[in-house]
Amino acid sequence: MSVEICVLGSGSGGNCTYLGTSKTRVLVDAGFSMKETARRLASINIPLESIQALVISHEHSDHIHGVETLTKNLGIPVYIAPAALDAMRIDATKYPFEFIRAGTSFTIGEIEVHPFSIPHDSIEPLAFRFDTSGIRTCVVTDLGYIPELVKQRVAGSHCLIFEANHDLDMLKVGPYPWFVKQRVMSRHGHLSNDATARFFEEDYDGAAEHVLLAHISQKNNHPDIVRMSILQAFEKRGLPTRTIQLTSQSEPSRLIRF
């Protein structure tokens, strides 16, 4: 039984990741409209109607934009933290919401889901480890620093989707207002290239066959800078750089199969 993973898009304009097996297909976050989600899924030959659940990390709009429309039209459950749902300010009685919490695992079909806490300026933010058919996939974005818990949870990943949001120099001279820059740089903001590179150089176990760098800022980062930063970290460790893939806001990543 194969496992498929594709980052349909990642960034401040929308986040959504597809994870599927022969019997179970889910989306992690739903930051695009239903039409756009369907288009991106179709590009990897996955029918929107085959999606069986949504798993939501937190309530920011770039992660929940399509939640209500998708669950309404597909009739599928949405797994979300209670406080995050409250912050969405929608009538939860109209849709099949399932409450989840950090540290409490649950199962969707053939997929075991292990939510864990991350530091971000949202309500009850979560990252996820997914285990199915002996394959471990971790989706870790929207965090201001990397606590020990995160390092422990991502160990042994076969596929690791991890944030590299901004270049510090570009952010400092970029177009954002100063208070937004402070938020992004804070311990509850987003990871810089340097912070992510330091993780891969010092704490990463080197296990993943695929490393997807995600939530790359279009205004405060550049793919070449991200690639150079992470390549250098891998080279210092003697890790295979062929495992690295950069995700995009505008198009899906390469479909990964195990």
Residue 66 tokens read as 């399509």
User: Is-contact 258 2, C-beta < 8 A?
Assistant: yes
Tell me which of 99 and 91 has the higher pLDDT.
99
**pLDDT one-digit tens code per residue, 120-160:** 999 999 999 999 999 999 999 999 999 999 999 999 999 99
Q: What is the pLDDT of residues 34-44, one digit of tens each?
A: 999 999 999 99
Q: How far is 93 from 42, CA to CA, in rounded Å?
A: 31
- Are 15 and 141 in contact by the 8 Å Cβ rule? The answer is yes
Q: What's the CA gap between 248 and 258, in Å, rounded?
A: 22
- Could you say which architecture CATH assigns to the domain 4-256? 4-Layer Sandwich (3.60)
Crossing angle of the two packed helices 34-42 and 67-74, in degrees rounded to 10: 70
The pLDDT value given to residue 90: 87
Per-residue pLDDT of 9-36, as tens digits, reads 999 999 999 999 999 999 999 999 999 9
Q: What is the CA radius of gyration of the chain?
A: 17
pLDDT in tens, 93-116: 889 999 999 999 999 999 999 999
* Contact yes or no for 166/217 (Cβ under 8 A): yes
Residues whose CB is less than 8 angstroms from the CB of residue 216 and which lie 6 or more positions away in sequence, other chains included: 10, 11, 164, 165, 223, 226, 246, 247, 248, 249
What is the distance of C-alpha 36 from the center of its chain?
18
Q: Which of 63, 73, 61, 60 is nearest to 27 (CA)?
A: 63
pLDDT band with cut points at 50, 70 and 90 for residue 91: confident
- Does the pLDDT of residue 1 top 70, yes or no? no
Q: Where in the chain are the domains?
A: 4-256
For residue 229, pLDDT beyond 90: yes
Residue located via tokens 């979560």: 126
Contact 205, 241 (CB under 8 A): no
